[in-house]
Amino acid sequence: MFLWLRLPEDVDWVALKVLTAARVFYYAEGEDYRVEGKAVHFIRLAFGHVPDAAITQGIPVLAGCIDRCRKRNASGQAASLFDD
């Protein structure tokens, strides 16, 4: 099982990859799943094999990493899932 998470457009992808790896949090970049290989602002989170407790602990870790890697540091300004 997995889900797609849309990230704010100002996320520094290199910094996010380094920061999450340092916290043993791994994800797949959305462009890995596109035929064209174009950059997209999504990550794929697989959770089918992860214990519930690890998911609960991992959510704030990922949120903190994303917040720290925003270029304009505009915490709380991300669009909702329903915005274009």
Q: What is the pLDDT of residues 15-70, one digit of tens each?
A: 999 999 999 999 999 888 888 767 789 999 999 999 999 999 999 999 999 999 99
CATH value at residue 27: 3.90.1150.10
Q: Nearest-CA neighbor of 17 among 27, 9, 8, 7?
A: 27
Torsion of CA 11, 17, 21, 24, to 10 degrees: 50
- The total domain count for the chain is 1
Is pLDDT of 9 > 80? Answer: yes
Question: What are the CA-CA distances from residue 41 to residues 25, 27, 49, 54 (Å)?
Answer: 18, 13, 24, 24
Domain containing residue 13:
2-68
**Residue 29: count of CB within 10 angstroms of its CB:** 17
**Is residue 28 domain-resident?**
yes
Helices 52-68 and 13-22, axial angle in degrees (round to 10): 140
**Is residue 37 domain-resident?**
yes
**Is residue 79 domain-resident?**
no
**Is residue 75 domain-resident?**
no
Query: What's the pLDDT at 35?
Result: 80
**Is residue 82 domain-resident?**
no
Query: What's the pLDDT at 38?
Result: 73
